[in-house]
Amino acid sequence: MSATRTSAAPAPAGIVDGPIAVAEFFAGIGLMAAGLEPLGFHVAWANDIEQAKQDLYVANRPRSAEAFHLGDVRNAQGSDLPAAVELATASFPCIDLSLAGNRKGLAGEQSGMFWEFARVLREMGPARPRVVLLENVHGFATSHGGKDLREALETMGELGYSCDVIAVNARHFVPQSRPRMFVIGIAGDLPKGAHLGVPPISSARPEWVRGVHEANADLRMHHMELPELPDGPADLGAVVQKMAPDDDRWWDAERLERFTASLRPLHVERLQQLRDAGATAWRTAYRRTRDGATTWEIRADGIAGCLRTTGGGSSKQALVEVKRGRARVRWMTALEYARLMGAGDYRTKARTDNQAMFGFGDAVVVDVIGWIGQHYLVPALRPSVS
């Protein structure tokens, strides 16, 4: 069943009728803003607890410096936010929800920051934004058997929001496998293209997302009509930072030998196939611990694995280049991280490269947010534009 359309003043196609004010919780280095601003959104308030992230955020959008509030979200109050905010975004910490994390879920100290976000919305009362965008890992849907997500959806419903759940892998836009789920909440009348009931399967709503809608059909839920996700790039060619063969960032012969010696048979075969092909090719590699021994594993396809916050071990990716049968290896650079996040023109200078890479590993992909903004958020907030 179709929902009621929200009214709005006419505006030229593709241009919002006046800027859409955004409150950006867990703002990180600003890639959420980077995806939204070209569509006519304006960051009116942003918050994060880490100074290094604020430094990068402000360096890339100095006009937003006054809007950025450094500090613990637990100290934020609903009265702190501008009254005109129409969209609130929250990429709250995933560590307690991730399959690689501790699985404490929304009861965990980090992922439990969702409840602080909900508290601030509650304190805003009638001034709370019309639309909310939550972003997290797929583990949010399965945490505690789905109970965590259900509690979050129930809370959003109590705050007046009907919710939709979608899943977008960044590989549809950039050469990085980065699966993420999004919850979009809309208060008031639903826009044109929104429907009640369980959605059909599509590229943004695979079987497991449809299952989320089915399991929570008794809550305030809807689904929005969306186009199919585009095909993404199949290789790293547009991402790799070109550097001379004698650049000291390439690993020396001894380190390269240790790398190849650690490869298990499957990965030795993958490397040999690249050598035999004769063409220039790139692969990413992770360092793993298998049966108590450190080993490197080369990704089978030509895209990067999911970027993570740099902290050693398997969190960092190396780049393997094979050219005319010869292999070279080095760590990926901050610029390559930026390009994999759809932010190739981003100012990556931080106090250290690791700080910049940490910020990218903890961020959203610009192109993904742009797609959601264009096909979902703008139609919800400015239906006459879409």
CATH number for the domain spanning 54: value is: 3.40.50.150
Does the pLDDT at position 183 exceed 70? yes
| 340 within some domain | no
Instruction: Round to whole Å and give the CA distance between 11 and 33.
Output: 22
Which residues, at least 6 apart from 343, have a Cβ–Cβ distance to it below 8 Å?
Answer: 31, 34, 360, 366
**Residue 377 — pLDDT band, cuts 50, 70, 90?**
very high
- Of 67-71, 104-108, 134-138, 153-157, which gets the smallest average pLDDT? 104-108
pLDDT of residue 30: 95
The amino acid at residue 250 is: W
199 and 60 in one domain? yes
Range of the domain at 279: 253-332
List, in sequence order, the alpha helices (H) in 177-313: 207-215, 253-262, 265-277
Q: Which helix (H) or strand (E) holds 318?
A: strand 317-323
| 347 within some domain | no
pLDDT of residue 34: 96
Structural domain tally of the chain? 2
Instruction: Round to whole Å and give the CA distance between 48 and 57.
Output: 10
34 and 87 in one domain? yes
265 and 195 in one domain? no
Q: Which helix (H) or strand (E) holds 247?
A: none
* DSSP state letter for 316: S
pLDDT of residue 101: 54
pLDDT of residue 358: 85
DSSP-derived secondary structure for 267-284: HHHHHHHHHHH-S-EEEE
| Alpha-carbon distance values, 235 to 147, 175, 260, 294, 339 (Å) | 38, 6, 22, 27, 13
Does the pLDDT at position 213 exceed 50? yes
Instruction: Round to whole Å and give the CA distance between 110 and 94.
Output: 7
| 71 within some domain | yes
pTM attached to this predicted model: 0.92
- Of 51-60, 97-106, 242-251, 371-380, which gets the smallest average pLDDT? 97-106
308 and 183 in one domain? no
Instruction: Round to whole Å and give the CA distance between 308 and 337.
Output: 10
68 and 196 in one domain? yes
206 φ/ψ angles, rounded to the nearest 5 degrees: -65, 180
174 and 72 in one domain? yes
Give the pLDDT mean for 366-376: 98
| 241 within some domain | no
67 φ/ψ angles, rounded to the nearest 5 degrees: -80, -15
257 and 220 in one domain? no
Closest CA to 241 of 233, 253, 232, 250: 250
209 and 265 in one domain? no
CB contact at 8 A, 318 and 285: yes
Mean pLDDT of the chain, nearest integer: 90
User: Tens digits of per-residue pLDDT, 91-116?
Assistant: 987 877 876 555 688 888 888 889 99
257 and 227 in one domain? no
pLDDT of residue 328: 97
User: Tens digits of per-residue pLDDT, 228-276?
Assistant: 999 999 999 999 999 999 999 999 999 999 999 999 999 999 999 999 9
146 φ/ψ angles, rounded to the nearest 5 degrees: 90, -5
Give the pLDDT mean for 186-199: 95
CB contact at 8 A, 238 and 303: no
| 38 within some domain | yes
376 and 261 in one domain? no
Count Cα atoms within 13 angstroms, Cβ side, for 34. 27
**Residue 7 — pLDDT band, cuts 50, 70, 90?**
very low
186 and 128 in one domain? yes
| 278 within some domain | yes
